[in-house]
Amino acid sequence: MFPTRVDESVAFVPVTFAVLAVSDTRTLETDTSGALLAELIEASGHRCMERAIATDDGKAIAAQVQKWIEEPTIDVVLTTGGTGFSGRDVTPDVIEPMFDKRMDGFSVLFHLYSAQTIGTSSLQSRATAGLVGSTFVFCLPGSKGACRDAWEGILKHQFDSRHMPCNFIEIMPRLTER
């Protein structure tokens, strides 16, 4: 949907991800969305250092994300699940207050891309993203389709150091400048 350009003369730089599935019913063995994200991350040449499950409980979600933010080898945290409107969907409510900088454009692009797949049902997602210190944090819906849309449509490009005209990799060394 969006034009992408890759400068093959630039070296690919792998980064490290952690994936958190937010669910009251899934386990690591049954978490198909988190498994898909880990597979897509690895297939793109990056590392998925950890995967975990947290129940739809604000304290559990915040504790796991905070642990990964404090881990200097993790560059990106992806959460999947808990972004809808039900009473148990609290992921954005818990994570957004942690942001030092909010990435409004991610939600806009995600909804544009997702609408091509599921139409107006994209409206039911509160997908969000931001920066906490020098760690990127993305809150994705819990479906495999939404995770694939976010990765294939946006994240794999922005986390490719060869993506033009700009990408997250080239700004990572400057994220904590003051």
pLDDT in tens, the chain (178 residues): 677 789 999 999 999 999 999 999 999 999 999 999 999 999 999 999 999 999 999 999 999 999 999 999 999 999 999 999 999 999 999 999 999 999 999 999 999 999 999 989 898 899 999 999 999 999 999 999 999 999 999 999 999 999 999 999 999 999 888 7
- Do residues 37 and 43 touch, judged by C-beta distance below 8 A? no
- The residue written with tokens 């957004």 in the block is 96
Domain 12-172 carries which CATH code? 3.40.980.10
Give the pLDDT of residue 72.
95
- The tokens describing 12, both together, are 């690919």
Q: Is 72 exposed, middle or buried (0-12, 13-18, 19+ CB in 10 A)?
A: exposed
H helix or E strand, kind and range, residue 164: strand 163-164
Query: What are the Cα distances from residue 109, in Å, to 2, 25, 134?
Result: 10, 29, 22
The predicted model scores a pTM of: 0.96
Q: Where are the domains of the chain?
A: 12-172
Q: Helix/strand/coil (H, E, C) string of 99-149?
A: CCEECHHHHHHHHHHHHHHHHHHHHHCCCEEEEECCEEEEEECCCHHHHHH
- The tokens describing 105, both together, are 């454009």
